[in-house]
Amino acid sequence: MDDRIKIQELIAHFANSFDVKDWDGLQSCFTEIILSDYSDLRGTPPEKISVKEYVRLRREGLDPLRIQHLVSNYEIKFIDSVTATCRASMVVWRKTEKDDFITHCMYTFKVVEQDAKWKICEIAQKVLWNEGTSAIYKGAKN
């Protein structure tokens, strides 16, 4: 299978894992340590973090919510035969019974091939705009 398709499937699996709350599946998308940059959404600086901690934080913040991630507009650029970047558009819905919080954003992923599988080693979210009640998601700055 073409590496571009494999990378698109990796990013789709990343997004879908959130929506069905498949936290083990989410963890399988990453290398052991990642560079995580959600500074636009959280107001915190980028950080190197273990994938286990990354997933724990997402589970803690998202388990109480209904969520959906829609991803498209993949732009994949190969740095070399085992490293690439993928920029993609995403809309993230987070919903309670009464409120919702929607983030329209661009993600940039750096991916590497390890043991014949593509894995995310860096992730950066650039918020285009938010809508709704940010207070329902403790991962967002209010």
Spell out the residues 6+ positions from residue 24 whose beta carbon is closer than 8 angstroms to its own.
none
- Beta strands across the sheet bearing 66-80: 47-50, 30-37, 117-132, 100-114, 83-95, 66-80
User: Tokens for 126?
Assistant: 């650039």
* pLDDT of res. 43: 86
**Is residue 141 in some structural domain?**
no
- Taking 90 as the threshold, does the pLDDT of residue 1 lie above it? no
φ/ψ region of 109 (left if φ > 0, alpha if ψ in -120 to 50, else beta) reads: beta
User: Tokens for 108?
Assistant: 């940039």
pLDDT tens, residue by residue, 86-126 = 999 999 999 999 999 999 999 999 999 999 999 999 999 99
Range of the domain at 101: 3-136
**Is residue 31 in some structural domain?**
yes
* pLDDT of res. 142: 59
Query: Which phi and psi (to 5°) does residue 64 adopt?
Result: -75, -5
- Taking 90 as the threshold, does the pLDDT of residue 13 lie above it? yes
Q: For residues 104 and 111, what is the distance between their CA atoms, to the nearest angstrom?
A: 22
CATH of residue 32's domain is 3.10.450.50
User: Tokens for 106?
Assistant: 């661009």
User: Tokens for 141?
Assistant: 């700055």
pLDDT tens, residue by residue, 30-87 = 999 999 999 999 888 999 999 999 999 999 999 999 999 999 999 999 999 999 999 9
Q: Indicate the number of domains in the chain.
A: 1
**Is residue 142 in some structural domain?**
no
